[in-house]
Structure 1
Amino acid sequence: MSNDIRIKKGLDIKLKGEAEKTVEQAIISNYCTVRPEDFHGVIPKLVAKEGSSVEAGGTLFYNKANEVIKFSSPVSGKVVEIVRGPKRRIDAIKIEADKKQSYRDFGALSLDSAGADEVKAKLLESGCWPFVKQRPYDVIADPEKSPKAIFISGYASAPLAADLDFTLQGKEAELQAAVTALSKLTEGKVHLAVGRKSNSPLAGLTGVTLHKVSGPHPSGNVGTLINKIDPVNKGEVVWTVAAQDLVIIGELLLTGRFNAERVVALAGSSVQKPRYFKTLIGSEVATLIYDKGVEKGGHDRIISGNVLSGKQIKPDGALDYYSNVVTIIPEGDDYEFFGWNKPVFNKVSTSRALTFSWLNPKKEYDLNTNTNGEHRAFVVTGGYEEVFPLDIYPLQILKACMYKDLDEMEALGMYEVAPEDFALTEFVCVSKQPHQKIIREGLDLMLKEIG
C-alpha cells in the first residue's frame, strides 16, 4: 500500500538536452580522483601514502573527527599524487588505475541473521558509510546515533536529472539487500518515494513504506519527502540515502566487493548526443564529454550534478562521489542590451512582467548560466513561497542564517533543511542572493555551536 504525496508549489524547468535512454560503456579512465571536499565537514587523515598501491575498496583516508568512518578507493591502482592546498590541506587523492582491477574482499553478509551492529560494522569497514547522510546538518551520518526513520527518494525531478527508473533497471536484488540492511539500523520506518506514474524497480521492494509523489520540482527532493511525512525536530535525527547508492551498498552486502560503478547521464543543450554511460566514481570527465559529446574548446560550463545544485568542474576534472549526472550548458558571461526592459520569450520566469514562459509550460529552453542581474539586497516579492513547498518560511530562515541568530534558526525549522532545498528559491531570486551558500553556512554554524 502506498501513500500519495502531491506537491503543488514548485517549478519545473524544462531544458533542452535530456539524455536518451541508451547506455554505453564510457572510455576506461586512466586516473581516478577522490576529493575530500565532496564529504562536507570531513577532515581527512591519510592512510594511503603517495606511491602506495590500493585495492578497489581499500581505505584512502578516514575522518579525523570520527576514525571509524573510512573512505574507500573506487579503483585498484597506485596513488600517484596527493594534491594539497593552503596549510597542507588535502584537496585530492589521484590514483592511476590498474588495467585489470582487483577488489578487496569484505565478505558477503547473511542479511537474514545479521543484526544492526554487524550491518553497521560492514558498512563502516568497506567505506560505504559515507553514502548514509543525516538531517540535521546534511552531513555524513553519525554511526553512534540512531535515526527515527530513513528516507530514500527514487524520483528525480530536477532539470535534466538522470532517470532513476532507467538507471536502476536490473538491480532489484542489490536494492532489496540494501533496504533490508538499512531497515535494521532504525526502529522507525524506511520511507521510499517513487514517481506516481513511474515504473520504478524500487516500487517492488519489501520492508519499506512506499510513497508515490507527483508535482513540480522539488517533489523529488528527499527534503520535501521528510517535510511531508515526518519533519525533524530538535533532538531528532533522520538518515537519507540516494537511490543510486543503494546499488553499491547492496552489491557489497551480497558479494563482499565495493563496486563503485555508476550509470551517469550526460545531458545539456551543449551536448551533441545526450545519453547514459557506465563509469566509475572519480573517473575523468573527459572520458565522457569528448566522445561524441562536446566540442573541445567550446564556451560551455561543465557541471557535476544538476544545473540547480551541482558544482562547476573543469574539463580535466573528475566525477564527484555522489553525482550521477554531468550537465553541460552554455557559459553565460555576456550581457543583453536592455535585457531588463524588453519582452522575454526565451527564458523561464515565475513573473508575468514582460515574460511569457507561463504561456507554454511544456516548451524546452536552451538556457545559459547568466544570472541576468547583479547581487543586491533582498527584495520581498513573495516569489520564494511560490516555489517552496516545505512548511517553512524561506525568506525568514535565510535572513536568520545571515545574521546568525541560532534561536530563530531553530524555531524556523533549520534542522530539516539542506542547501538543495533552496536551489529553486535561488533560481527565482530577483536579488541574486546565493541561497544554498547561505543555508550551508548556517548549518555549519549550528553544527559548531549546537552539535
Structure 2
Amino acid sequence: MSEVKKIKKGLDIKLAGKAEKVLEKADRSETYAIKPTNFPGLTPKLKVKVDAEVKAGDSLFFDKYCPEINFSSPVSGKVIAVNRGERRKILEVVIQADAKIQYQEFKKADPNGLSREEIKEELLKSGLWSFVRQRPYDVIAKPKDTPKAIFISAFDTAPLAADIDFLLEGESEAFQAGLDALAKLTDGKVYLNTNPNFNQNKISSEAKNVEVRQFSGAHPAGNVGIQIHHISPMNKDEVAWVIRPQEVVFIGRLFTKGIYDVSRKIALCGSEVKNPCYFETIQGASVRTLLKGKLKDDEKIRVISGNVLTGEQISEDGFISFYDSQITVIPEGDKFEFLGWALPGLQKFSMSKTFFSWLTPNKEFRLDANLHGEHRAFVMTGEYDKVLPMDVLPQQLIKSIMIEDVDQMEQLGIYEVAPEDLALCEFVCTSKINVQDLVRKGIDLMIKEMS
C-alpha cells in the first residue's frame, strides 16, 4: 500500500442531515428521464419518438458529432414526452416504466478474454460509454482516444456525500469485472484512489488490475481532478479518463449479466429530511417517490440532485441527474435578515471566523441557499488559494476566462481543472462570482478553439 498523500488545502462544510447507513426500498417510480443537459458539450439527436416502446438498454438519443456514443433508457416502457426548452433544445426524454423491466441483451463475457475494441464496442452499443469522462474538459471520453491512465476516486469528501463503501456493498464481483474491462482500455494504469478514514471494506483494498493510491485531507481531496493533479498532472495533448465507483459496477454488470442494469443506491440527505437514509432505485428516477412523506414541513425547501456545491436544483417532480448518487434537501433561505452581518452568528458557517460559530468546530449547520449579499467587484483576496489544492492561480485563471484570453487560460492551467474542482472557490467568494459557470465557459471556449 502506498503512503498517504495529505491534501493540505481545502474546507470541510459540516451540514446537518447526513444519511444513516440504512437501506430502504423506495416506492416504484412510474416515470424516469434522461436529460441531455447533464452532458456538457453534447448535441443530442433523437432515436425515438413519443409513444415508442423501449427496453432497458435501448438507445434514446446519440451524440450528433460522435454518433457511436448512445444514451440508453434505464427502464423498459413507453416514451411519453420529449420536453424541450428555448430554440427546441431537448431537456428531457421521459419514459413511463413497465411494471417489470425488460432488458435488451448484450454480450456476456469475461472482460479479460476480450480485446480493447470488443470492450469499446459493447460499452458504446449499450450506452454505458457515457459514464466514461475525460480530462481535460470534463466531457464524455472520445472512443478513438487511448488515455494515459484511468482514475477512480473511491471516496467523496463533498458535503453530505454518499458513503461509497456502502454504495458498493454486495457488488464486489461486478466491481472487479468493471475494473478488468477498464484496464483493457488504457496502456497506462487504472488508479483506484482511497482514503484510510473513508474506505473500510475490502472491495477497494482487494481490487485487482489497479494501482491503489491513498489520499487524506479536507474537501476537495475526494475530487478525482485533485487526485490526478497530484499523481500525473494534465498537459496539453494528454488525455486521462475518469469514472465513479458505482459506474464501474454498471460496466461490470454488463459483462457478468449481459444487460444494461443501472439500478443504484441513492443517499437522501439534508437538514430538511426527517430521517436521512439510503434508497435502492434506478438511475433517472423521479424524486417524487423518494421525497414522499420524508420531508419536514416547517420551511420552503430547495431540492438538489447532487451535493450543495456542485448539484443541480430540481423540482419536487424532477428526476435524478445522470451522474448523481445523492439528493440533498435544504431550506430555500429566501427571507430577508435585518442586520444579519452584525449578529453573533452562532448558527452561521464562516471560513473567515466572521461569526462566533468558529468556536464550535464540530457543529453541524443548517445552511440555506441565501447568497447573503449581491454580486460585486471581483477583487484579489487570496480566498481561492486557501481552498484549492492545486498549483494553479485560480483568480488569474478566472479573469483570463472572463476576457476570453485563450493563451492565458492555457498557461494558467485550464487543462487541469473542471468546474467541480473550483466549487469551493465559488462558496468562499466575497464577490459572489459564479466560478463554476465561468470554468465551464472557459472549457467550452478551449474545445471550440481546438476543434
How many pairs does the alignment contain? 449
Report the Cα distance in structure 2 between the residues aligned to 1:297 and 1:279, rounded to whole angstroms.
Answer: 27
* 8 Å Cα contact 1:7/1:219 also seen in 2: yes
Select 2:212's aligned residue among 210, 215, 224: 210
Amino acid at match of 2:188: G
Give the secondary structure class of the aligned counterpart of 2:342: coil
* 8 Å Cα contact 2:267/2:278 also seen in 1: yes
Q: Where does residue 375 of structure 2 map in the other structure?
A: 375
Report the Cα distance in structure 1 between the residues aligned to 2:167 and 2:196, rounded to whole angstroms.
Answer: 18
Q: Where does residue 260 of structure 2 map in the other structure?
A: 258
Asked whether 1:60 is paired with 2:60, we answer yes
- Aligned pairs for 1:127-138 (under 5 A) are 127-138=127-138
Q: Where does residue 9 of structure 1 map in the other structure?
A: 9
1:298 to partner: Cα distance: 4.6
TM-score scaled by length of structure 1: 0.97
Q: Where does residue 311 of structure 1 map in the other structure?
A: 312
1:87 to partner: Cα distance: 2.4
- Aligned pairs for 1:1-80 (under 5 A) are 1-80=1-80
Note the alpha carbon deviations across 1:357-395, whole angstroms, 9 max, x for none.
332221111111111111111122211111111111111
Amino acid at match of 2:385: E
Give the secondary structure class of the aligned counterpart of 2:118: helix
1:295 to partner: Cα distance: 4.2
CA pair 321-297 structure 1, distance change in 2 beyond 3 A: farther
1:169 to partner: Cα distance: 1.0
**Greater mean deviation of Cα atoms: 376-385 or 74-83:** 376-385
CA pair 76-296 structure 1, distance change in 2 beyond 3 A: farther
* 8 Å Cα contact 1:146/1:237 also seen in 2: yes
Report the Cα distance in structure 2 between the residues aligned to 1:341 and 1:22, rounded to whole angstroms.
Answer: 41
- Aligned pairs for 1:219-298 (under 5 A) are 219-291=221-293, 293-295=294-296, 298=299
TM-score scaled by length of structure 2: 0.97
Note the alpha carbon deviations across 1:147-183, whole angstroms, 9 max, x for none.
1011100111000010101111111111111111111
Report the Cα distance in structure 1 between the residues aligned to 2:304 and 2:91, rounded to whole angstroms.
Answer: 19
Q: Where does residue 401 of structure 1 map in the other structure?
A: 401
Report the Cα distance in structure 1 between the residues aligned to 2:12 and 2:357, rounded to whole angstroms.
Answer: 11
Note the alpha carbon deviations across 1:27-71, whole angstroms, 9 max, x for none.
101111111111111111111111110000111111111000000
Give the secondary structure class of the aligned counterpart of 1:112: helix
Report the Cα distance in structure 2 between the residues aligned to 1:71 and 1:188, rounded to whole angstroms.
Answer: 27
Amino acid at match of 2:286: E
Give the secondary structure class of the aligned counterpart of 1:329: strand
Q: Where does residue 417 of structure 2 map in the other structure?
A: 417
Report the Cα distance in structure 2 between the residues aligned to 1:296 and 1:118, rounded to whole angstroms.
Answer: 52
Report the Cα distance in structure 2 between the residues aligned to 1:386 and 1:432, rounded to whole angstroms.
Answer: 17
* 8 Å Cα contact 1:251/1:257 also seen in 2: yes
* 8 Å Cα contact 1:175/1:202 also seen in 2: no
Report the Cα distance in structure 2 between the residues aligned to 1:71 and 1:297, rounded to whole angstroms.
Answer: 39
1:276 to partner: Cα distance: 0.2
1:107 to partner: Cα distance: 2.0
Give the secondary structure class of the aligned counterpart of 2:398: helix
Note the alpha carbon deviations across 1:286-327, whole angstroms, 9 max, x for none.
110113x11469500000000000010001111111100000
Report the Cα distance in structure 1 between the residues aligned to 2:357 and 2:399, rounded to whole angstroms.
Answer: 30
Q: What's the Cα RMSD here?
A: 1.2
**Greater mean deviation of Cα atoms: 84-93 or 360-369:** 84-93
Asked whether 1:363 is paired with 2:389, we answer no
Report the Cα distance in structure 2 between the residues aligned to 1:296 and 1:348, rounded to whole angstroms.
Answer: 24
**Greater mean deviation of Cα atoms: 85-94 or 123-132:** 85-94
Give the secondary structure class of the aligned counterpart of 1:176: helix
Q: Where does residue 107 of structure 1 map in the other structure?
A: 107
Report the Cα distance in structure 2 between the residues aligned to 1:309 and 1:81, rounded to whole angstroms.
Answer: 27
- Aligned pairs for 1:434-445 (under 5 A) are 434-445=434-445
Q: Where does residue 187 of structure 1 map in the other structure?
A: 187
Amino acid at match of 2:341: W
* 8 Å Cα contact 1:47/1:60 also seen in 2: yes
* 8 Å Cα contact 1:290/1:296 also seen in 2: no
1:212 to partner: Cα distance: 1.4
Report the Cα distance in structure 1 between the residues aligned to 2:356 and 2:150, rounded to whole angstroms.
Answer: 41
Give the secondary structure class of the aligned counterpart of 1:165: helix
* 8 Å Cα contact 2:110/2:177 also seen in 1: no
Report the Cα distance in structure 1 between the residues aligned to 2:114 and 2:60, rounded to whole angstroms.
Answer: 27
Q: Where does residue 167 of structure 1 map in the other structure?
A: 167
* 8 Å Cα contact 1:76/1:102 also seen in 2: yes
Report the Cα distance in structure 1 between the residues aligned to 2:352 and 2:298, rounded to whole angstroms.
Answer: 35
* 8 Å Cα contact 2:134/2:242 also seen in 1: yes
* 8 Å Cα contact 1:329/1:369 also seen in 2: yes
Unaligned runs of 5+ in 1: none
* 8 Å Cα contact 1:2/1:209 also seen in 2: no
Give the secondary structure class of the aligned counterpart of 1:414: coil
* 8 Å Cα contact 2:268/2:278 also seen in 1: yes
Note the alpha carbon deviations across 1:236-262, whole angstroms, 9 max, x for none.
000000111111111011111111111
Report the Cα distance in structure 2 between the residues aligned to 1:102 and 1:178, rounded to whole angstroms.
Answer: 23
1:408 to partner: Cα distance: 0.7
Asked whether 1:323 is paired with 2:294, we answer no
Give the secondary structure class of the aligned counterpart of 1:185: coil
Give the secondary structure class of the aligned counterpart of 2:182: helix
Give the secondary structure class of the aligned counterpart of 1:270: coil
1:25 to partner: Cα distance: 0.9
Identical pairs, percent = 48
Report the Cα distance in structure 2 between the residues aligned to 1:32 and 1:259, rounded to whole angstroms.
Answer: 14
* 8 Å Cα contact 2:112/2:181 also seen in 1: no
**Greater mean deviation of Cα atoms: 265-274 or 165-174:** 165-174
